[in-house]
Every structure is written in C-alpha cells, then in structure tokens.
C-alpha cells in the first residue's frame, strides 16, 4: 500500500496545541507516514498538518484527529506559501522551519546548512571577525552590543583556554525563539558556535539551557551527539567539545556574568564589570557569551556575506528582527522581518488585530522588564535606537498584548513581585528596592496607600534605575512607572481617601 | 549516629567528585541528587559538601538560591502553572482558581493525599498557545478553566 507522507511539527508549542494528540491517533495507521518537523511558528494555526504537492507544501490547519480522511483525500488544504502570516515574513534564520526534521544532518545540509562554517574555514580568524563587523550584527539577547567587538576582544586576549557560551536561558516571559531554534534547528546554533570558536580560538563550548525547557535540552543533547558522529565538532583538526548545562529556575542567570557563575556551579550572582567576559569570563578565561538567536544568525552572515546582512533593516539595526507575538491577539506566533516596521504594523499585519471581543489596553515589549505601550504609542519603529530613545527595550523580541480587562495595578504588582523573587541579592537597590516597591503596590491594592506612597514608588524606581548592578534592577521600574503614568486612575482611585 | 544515605547516593557522590585539578561543580551534583531523590533533604548537605571539597555553607547557598531545587518532598504529580506575562494576559489566574476549586490547594502547596503539588513557573516558552499548565513534564496549551477538572482526573 502506498503510504502518504504527512508532516507534523514536533515543537513544544505545536504539541501543546494538539500535534502530539494527532501523532498518537495516527501512529498505527498503515496508510500514513508521519514525519515530525520543526514548526513554522504560525502557532495560531497549530496543530497544522502538511503534505507534499508539485507546487510545494499544502497545509491543513487546526486539525483534529478525525480530519484524517479529508487530508488523505486532499480536500480543504491551503498552499503554505499563500498563508499571509508566513508569506509576509522575510525568513532567513528561520528559513527552514517547518520544512526539515530537526535532528537530520542530511536535511540540515540540504537546506544550506554548514555553508557558513565552510566559508569561515576558508578565511583567517581576523577575516571572520571583519565579516561580522561588516554585517553590523548586534547581540539579539537584549543588550544589542556589536558582536564583532566582543569577538575581537576575546580573539586578541592571550589565554591558555577560551570558551564559547550560548545563553539559552531564555527567561523573558513572552519569548520562545531560542526554544524553537534548539528544538527545531539545533545544528544552526552549533554551526554559529563553531564559527565563533574558530574566530576567537576557543577549545570548548557550552549551551546553558534553562531547566524550564526539557525538550530543547534533550534536542540539544541529541544534536550534539549527531554533530559529533558526523565529524562536525572540530576546528582546524582539533576537537571542539560542546556541552549542555541545565539551569535551575533562576531568571537572573540570563544575565551573562550570573550565567557564568551558574555555569561554574555556584549561586547565579551578578559579577561587577569590568572585566567583561570577553576578557575574563568562564574560569577567568576569555569567553564569548551570546544569545542562541545571535549564534543562529551567524551562519547565514558567513555564507552570504556581511554586506548582505547589513543591507537589511534600519541604520542602527541591521538584519532581521525575530519577534514573538503573544497575548490577546488573533494570530500569535513567531515573526521574522527586517527591522523597521512599526509596532502597530506588526500587530495589524501579523497579529490581525485583537482576539474576538477584546480591546487593546497595553502592549509590553521586551519581557518583564520592558516598557508598556498604549494604543497612542504604537507607531514606534521596531529597532534598537527608536526603542532606546523611548526609554524602552526591544529585549529578546517578546511582544505581549493585554486587553481592556487587564488590571494594571495587579500587573504592576505581578511584575515587581517577579523581580523581588528573582533578584540575586548582590546589590541593595534591586534587592531592597523591588521588595519595597512590591509592598507599596500591595498597600495600594489594600486601599491603604496615599499620594506620598506613589511619590515614594517613583523615587524608589529612579534609584533602582540609576544604581542597580545589572539590568534586572535597573529596568524593573520601567513597566511599573509607565503603568502609573499611562493609567493613573487605576492607581489613584485605589488610594486612601 | 550518621544518617544512612538514600540508595544510590553514595555512588553518585563518589562519581561526582571533581577530577584532580578540576574545580568543583556544586549545581551539577545538586541536579544529580535532585534527579535521584526528587528533592534534596538538608541533611544531605554535609555529604554533598564533602564530595565536592567545599564548605557546607557553599552547598546550602547554592541549594537555597535556585527555585527549582526542592528541599521538601513533592506530590506524586507536579502541576506547574505558568505565570509569564502572556499567560497573565490570557488569564492564568482563572486557571489557578479552577485548580484551587478542584484540589483545594494554592501555589506552593501539596494535597493532603500527596497526589498533587501546585507550583508556579515563570514562562515555559509556550506563549503562543497560552495559558500553559505542565503536569509531570507534559505540557498543555490553551487551557480553559473548564478543562482543568478533566485534565487533573487523568493523573491518579
């Protein structure tokens, strides 16, 4: 009997949306060959099933187990290439998502994998760094630091050992692109780390993956084994080992120096800088710590040239922005587009507006430390500089949309309680400030606060912004103070009269 | 009298000794003990410290720092509700309320029969199909409060 090949995503969110249920229901069918792939990131359409056709893949969306007969009959499909959410994107880093099996080294190479590494092997380490400089790539984890500068410092610092560390502690709520890369295209991360390793002269790499991502952790372990077996884990004939290390639920371990402390097995407490990790990082050796998405962006830059990357985006933000849309919109999912579209355009064109019956109240960009935007503020272009100018952050690209049922006072308390829980305790402004701020917000909720308490909250926030050791304390006041500024009635109506 | 160590822990701690000249790795050995025992009893701190050649205070410091290392036994099933901002926007509070109604426990508590422990988790990266509830490693997305009773009934 001819088995019909069906493609079904194996991504955590696809499975949580029902893909796993389909796989269970259809696994024993003799007329079906199920191929588990990465996800296209159009999660509002998941579980999504695809079939090959002469004109490319066909998709069935929001599939239930008993939809199988019409899928096998070929009824009711849409060509994947015509799904607007996907067609309107500029997929480079995420180009093969949805098409390939994550752990197939053959599929990776068939879709252009290893071209960047091969190009990097043909040139000197200095030339690799020059290519990254030409690309004008800035770190995608949140700090947006020029990648080539870190690499140059690490490359020119003399040491007996050097390290490459992928920051996979994707802790910003509302973000999931690193999880998708590790689950769906893990060799891209490995390739980026190998290129970095050659550029700086490193002998070993680590992927510090948050404990909340068990599937990504398992996927990376398997991918490293497969890469090892394929003979990929070497640089200029010398072994380059890559190891996955699990975090243990600490948000601040996403900060690069806290991450290094944790990687050494200690409390994930922030280190004072300088020295920067590129000079003195893991075990005091030069270390490049970059976000997973940053490493995953590198292979294409080497394969297609720095100028290609620099040709996309805005003046200060070159290349593509990887946004992760969630909350009360119609179409949540992963979006890769050149920098420069406005936040409103992203919400309209990709989010397709609010979920049924919901009205927009606020949008938070860049995780729990990101500023809140109201409807009137949505015309801001998605790029590092415009966000910096607005005292906001693009962070890791998370966009969370809140509807008009949201209690902004409770959201503020929720955010400040998160920071108070996660503060590593090293510096006083963050450790005490976040706790006091949370207490003030709880006093407002209890109807016991006065104007003086709100003034204290603002003052406390200003101190935290100016005097905290890392971004956790320094950014924590922004969403809370912007909520107070944009929605004053929700706070002031709760004051003691 | 010395408290006997749980089965297999002796071997684990011997294997976890850092090779000569290598630095200790407290978090790694704590992960291993946690995997073996399901939680880390404070009574084990001296043995763990000895295996790593560090002070008990250093081990206690690391143990108390990381939220996902439990120092108390948890229920047979761990129910984790995501409190990330996307889940907040998609009303995870109503999901928690439904769990409370069904099991009578709040975040951080275990049912009297030891069947369920309810824990908060800050973002499981499932934001696009939120709100999210993870039970024993199985992730459920787009969870409605009305789904909760049926979902929990699957775990005995």
Q: What is the CATH number of the domain that holds B99?
A: 3.40.30.10
Residues B93 and B149 in one domain: yes
How is residue A38 written in tokens?
A: 């990465």
Chain A segment 380-439 residues within 8 A of B by beta carbon are 398, 400-403, 405-406, 411, 414-415, 418, 421-422, 424
Residues in chain B with CB shorter than 8 Å from the CB of A265 are 23-29, 62
Q: Which of B69, B86, B125 sits opposite A400 (nearest CB)?
A: B86
User: B106 and B132 share a domain?
Assistant: yes
Question: Do B47 and B99 fall into the same domain?
Answer: no
By CB atoms closer than 10 A (0-12, 13-18, 19+), residue A432 is middle
Task: Give the nearest chain B residue to A419 (CA atoms).
Answer: B122
Domain identity same for B60 and B114: no
Give the per-residue pLDDT at A2.
82
Nearest to A248 among B68, B121, B139 (CB): B68
Q: How far apart are CA A242 and CA A480, in angstroms?
A: 40
pLDDT of B155 higher than 70: yes
Determine the residue of chain B that is closest to A175 in CA distance. B125
Using the Cβ of B53 and the Cβ atoms of chain A, whether some distance falls under 8 Å is answered with no
Query: Does some domain include residue B52?
Result: yes
Residues 229-248 of A with CB under 8 A from B: 245-248
The parts of chain A modelled with pLDDT lower than 70 are 1
Could you tell me the pLDDT band of residue B5, with boundaries at 50, 70 and 90? confident
pLDDT of amino acid B3: 61
User: Looking at B65, B88, B110, which one is the last position of a domain?
Assistant: B65
DSSP β-ladder status, A32-37 and A49-51: unpaired
* Pair (B82, B143) in one structural domain: yes
The encoded tokens of residue B93 equal 């509070």
Structure tokens at A352: 């397709």
Express each pLDDT in B81-140 by its tens digit.
999 999 999 999 999 999 999 999 999 999 999 999 999 999 999 999 999 999 998 999
Strand order in the sheet with A58-60: A32-37, A4-9, A49-51, A58-60, A78-79
Domain ranges of chain A: 4-87, 105-310, 320-403, 408-492
CATH 3.40.30.10 holds for A4-87 = yes
> Quick check: is B71 in a domain?
no
* Residue B86 and residue B28 share a domain: no
CATH of domain A408-492: 1.20.1440.230
Strands across the sheet with A333-338, in order? A333-338, A320-327, A398-403, A360-365, A372-373
Whether the pLDDT of residue B1 is over 50: the answer is no
| CA distance, residue B52 to nearest chain A CA (Å) | 11
Q: List the domain range (segments joined by +) for residue B88.
A: 77-153
Candidate from A212, A327, A401 with C-beta closest to B121: A212
Q: Are residues B54 and B112 in the same domain?
A: no
Using the Cβ of B124 and the Cβ atoms of chain A, whether some distance falls under 8 Å is answered with yes
ipTM: 0.95
A174 to B90: CB separation less than 8 angstroms, yes or no: no
- The CATH code of the domain that includes B53 is 1.10.10
> In whole angstroms, what is the distance from residue B54 CA to residue A217 CA?
28
Residue A36 class from Cβ within 10 Å (0-12 exposed, 13-18 middle, 19+ buried)? middle
Question: B43 and B102: one domain?
Answer: no
B81 interfaces chain A, CB cutoff of 8 Å: no
Contact B85 A174 (CB under 8 A): yes
* Contact yes or no for A324 and B128 at CB 8 A: yes
Contact state of B68 with A418 under an 8 Å Cβ cutoff: no
Query: Are A76 and A70 within 8 A, CB to CB?
Result: yes
User: Given an 8 Å threshold on Cβ–Cβ distance, is B126 in contact with A13?
Assistant: yes
What predicted TM-score, i.e. pTM, was given to this entire model? Answer: 0.97
Q: Which of B88, B121, B139 sits opposite A411 (nearest CB)?
A: B88
Q: Are residues B91 and B59 part of one domain?
A: no
- Shared domain for B50 and B85, answered yes or no, is no
Assess if residue B72 is contained within a domain.
Answer: no
Are B60 and B88 contained in the same domain? no
d(CA A341, CA A288): 30
Residues in A 191-220 with any Cβ partner in B closer than 8 A:
211-214, 216
**Would you call B25 and A411 a contact, using CB atoms and an 8 Å cutoff?**
no
In this predicted structure, the answer to whether residue B2 has a pLDDT above a threshold of 80 is no
Contact A87, A349 (CB under 8 A): no
**Tally of domains in chain B:** 2
CATH of the domain spanning A105-310, picked from 3.40.640.10, 3.40.50.11540, 3.40.50.720, 1.10.1060.10: 3.40.50.11540
B139 lies within 8 A of chain A by CB = yes
Inside any domain, residue B4: no
Looking at the fold, whether B83 and B147 belong to one and the same domain comes out as yes
A16 touches chain B (CB under 8 A): yes
Q: Which fold has domain A320-403?
A: Ubiquitin-like (UB roll) (3.10.20)
């Amino acid at each position: 009997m001819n088995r019909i090949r069906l493609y079904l995503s194996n991504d955590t969110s696809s499975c949580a949306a029902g893909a796993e249920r389909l796989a269970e229901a259809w696994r024993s069918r003799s007329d079906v060959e199920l191929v588990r792939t990465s996800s296209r990131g159009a999660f509002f359409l998941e579980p999504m099933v695809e079939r090959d056709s002469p004109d490319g893949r066909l998709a069935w969306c929001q599939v239930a187990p008993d939809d199988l007969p019409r899928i096998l009959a070929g009824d009711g499909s849409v060509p994947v290439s015509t799904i607007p959410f996907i067609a309107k994107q500029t997929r480079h880093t995420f180009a093969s998502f949805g098409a390939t099996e994550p752990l197939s080294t053959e599929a990776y190479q068939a879709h252009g994998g290893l071209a960047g590494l091969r190009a990097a092997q043909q040139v000197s380490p200095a030339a690799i760094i020059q290519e990254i400089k030409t690309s004008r790539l800035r770190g995608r984890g949140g700090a947006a630091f020029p990648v080539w500068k870190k690499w140059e410092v690490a490359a020119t610092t003399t040491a007996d050992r050097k390290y490459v560390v992928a920051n996979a502690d994707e802790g910003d709520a509302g973000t999931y692109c690193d999880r998708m890369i590790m689950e769906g295209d893990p060799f891209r991360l490995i390739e980026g780390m190998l290129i970095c390793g050659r550029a700086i002269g490193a002998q070993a790499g680590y992927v510090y993956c948050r404990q909340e991502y068990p599937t990504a952790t398992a996927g990376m372990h398997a991918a490293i084994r497969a890469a090892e077996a394929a003979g990929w884990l070497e640089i200029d004939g010398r072994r380059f080992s890559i190891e996955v290390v699990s975090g243990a639920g600490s948000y601040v371990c996403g900060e690069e120096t806290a991450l290094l402390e944790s990687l050494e097995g200690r409390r994930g407490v922030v280190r004072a800088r300088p020295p920067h990790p590129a000079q003195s990082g893991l075990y005091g050796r030069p270390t490049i710590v970059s976000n997973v998405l940053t490493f995953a962006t590198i292979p294409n830059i080497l394969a297609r040239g720095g100028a290609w990357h620099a040709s996309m985006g805005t003046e200060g933000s070159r290349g593509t922005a990887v946004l992760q849309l969630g909350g009360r919109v119609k179409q949540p999912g992963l979006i890769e587009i050149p920098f420069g579209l406005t936040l409103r355009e992203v919400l309209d064109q990709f989010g397709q507006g609010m979920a049924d019956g919901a009205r927009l109240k606020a949008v938070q960009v860049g995780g729990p430390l990101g500023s809140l935007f109201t409807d009137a503020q949505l015309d801001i272009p998605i790029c590092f500089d415009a966000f910096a100018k607005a005292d906001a952050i693009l962070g890791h690209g998370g966009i969370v949309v809140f509807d008009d049922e949201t209690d902004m006072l409770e959201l503020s308390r929720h955010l400040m309680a998160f920071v108070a829980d996660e503060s590593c305790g090293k510096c006083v402004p963050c450790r005490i400030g976040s706790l006091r701020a949370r207490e003030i917000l709880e006093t407002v909720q209890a109807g016991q606060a006065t104007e003086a308490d709100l003034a204290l909250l603002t003052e406390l926030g200003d101190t935290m912004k100016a005097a905290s050791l890392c971004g956790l304390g320094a950014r924590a006041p922004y969403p809370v103070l912007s909520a107070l500024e944009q929605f004053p009635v929700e706070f002031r109506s709760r004051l003691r009269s | 009298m010395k408290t006997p160590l749980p089965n297999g822990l002796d071997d684990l701690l011997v294997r976890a000794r850092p090779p000569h000249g290598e630095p200790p790795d407290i978090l790694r050995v704590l992960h291993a003990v946690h995997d073996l025992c399901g939680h880390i009893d404070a009574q084990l701190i001296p043995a763990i410290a000895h295996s790593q050649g560090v002070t008990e205070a250093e081990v206690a410091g690391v143990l108390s720092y990381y939220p996902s290392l439990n120092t108390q036994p948890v229920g047979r099933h761990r129910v984790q509700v995501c409190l990330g901002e996307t889940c907040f926007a998609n009303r995870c509070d109503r999901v928690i309320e439904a769990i409370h109604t069904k099991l009578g426990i709040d975040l951080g508590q275990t049912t009297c029969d030891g069947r369920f422990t309810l824990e908060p988790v800050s973002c499981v990266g499932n934001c696009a199909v939120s709100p999210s509830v993870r039970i024993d490693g199985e992730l459920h997305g787009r969870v409605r409060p009305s789904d909760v009773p049926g979902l929990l009934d699957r775990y005995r």
